[in-house]
Chain A
């Protein structure tokens, strides 16, 4: 069940992890270093950043500072995930945060939000499966290194596609749709304005805050929020109320 949930992510990590391993190899990392970085950093974006900054001979400190700003968004993910992890031990929180990243967060958040039986233990398993698939793909990529050239344009899109899937799955009412549209505009604006990934954090905080304020406003003035236009449901085709993966589990 957990494996089934993690499988699509593990599979889509393979081409990206391979690409990442190849790039780190090109940037001068040996295979042990590549394996190590894929385990302790475990973030596609961050590892691509390391590779790209190494190739321009950036000093270590400036790589680390840039990386820190890129990784700051996890503060938001951690905060929003924490309500599902209440009552877990210190050690569990440590383990969970060490192998948290965008993609397994997305899967676990969706599971926590839609499946009442989803347990923190299972969420941690998802993280570990994805870590395993990611680091193995990195290792293999690093070993085949120069023997293979890849079309980065295509590989780059795998994560975008994964996030698009997550967005569509999250949109249940008109308000969520509006917030997503707002975030699109704000993020482009702030990314271009700040010339760094800080733009991601500013736009996320703003867009989610607008969503929160609108919901609070509607709650104050209507007895049942579902009566309001903003909370009208956006329905998918009747056959697809459940994911294909869910249907497999039922049968």
Chain B
């Protein structure tokens, strides 16, 4: 889903960072608040009120749209938010494998494992 971090140096010690643990703690606190507000406020608002039908009808299409958008971001959009087109052929092929396996088996575990295996194999051979 996030591709920004593919550019990261993975080995520890390759990063020079000036923050100490107190800075980290402050960052975590603020991050927790930033993560909490969007989760909590709408849920509190809509679960304590009478929700109009049209809103529910609209929200019905949110999951499929959002998941597709997340997949599109993972496969077709680069870390710098450019269109990567067919740049991630390994992801595209593995994605097709996941779709077929899901369609045939309807098992989440099998689908994810098959997808990871496919991306592993395709990455080696490309």
Interface residues of A (CB under 8 A from B): 7-9, 11-12, 15, 22-23, 25-30, 33, 36-37, 40-46, 48-52, 54-55, 57, 60, 63-65, 67-68, 71-83, 85-86, 88, 90, 93-94, 96-98, 100, 102, 105-106, 109, 145-146, 149-154, 156-171, 176, 179-184, 186-188, 191-192, 194-197, 199-200, 203-204, 207-212, 215-216, 236-237, 240, 242-245
Q: Check B35 against A42 for contact (C-beta < 8 Å).
A: yes
Q: Check A8 against B108 for contact (C-beta < 8 Å).
A: yes
Q: A165 vs B23: C-alpha distance in the bound complex, in angstroms?
A: 39
Q: Check B106 against A169 for contact (C-beta < 8 Å).
A: yes
Task: For residue B16, give the distance in angstroms from its CB to the closest CB of chain A.
Answer: 8
- Count of residues in B whose CB is under 8 Å from the partner chain: 94
Residues of A with C-beta under 8 A to B72: 183-184, 187-188, 191
Given known A-B contacts A33-B28, A179-B64, A203-B65, A97 and B40 have beta carbons under 8 A apart: yes
Q: Check A80 against B62 for contact (C-beta < 8 Å).
A: yes
Task: For residue A6, give the distance in angstroms from its CB to the closest CB of chain B.
Answer: 10
Q: Check B68 against A167 for contact (C-beta < 8 Å).
A: yes
Residues of A with C-beta under 8 A to B39: 71, 74-75, 77-78, 97-98, 100
Lowest 5 CB-CB distances: which A-B pairs, in order? A161-B115, A211-B61, A146-B12, A187-B69, A208-B61
Q: A44 vs B73: C-alpha distance in the bound complex, in angstroms?
A: 14
Residues of B with C-beta under 8 A to A72: 38
Q: Check B8 against A26 for contact (C-beta < 8 Å).
A: yes
Q: A97 vs B47: C-alpha distance in the bound complex, in angstroms?
A: 12
Q: A181 vs B82: C-alpha distance in the bound complex, in angstroms?
A: 20
Q: A48 vs B81: C-alpha distance in the bound complex, in angstroms?
A: 16
Q: Which residue of A lies closest to B69 (CB)?
A: A187
Residues of A with C-beta under 8 A to B18: 57
Q: Check B103 against A27 for contact (C-beta < 8 Å).
A: no
Residues of B with C-beta under 8 A to A165: 98, 102, 108, 111-112
Residues of A with C-beta under 8 A to B21: 30, 33
Task: For residue B101, give the distance in angstroms from its CB to the closest CB of chain A.
Answer: 9
Residues of B with C-beta under 8 A to A64: 27, 30-31, 34
Q: Which of A154, A181, A187, A188 is close to B116, meaning CB atoms less than 8 Å apart?
A: A154
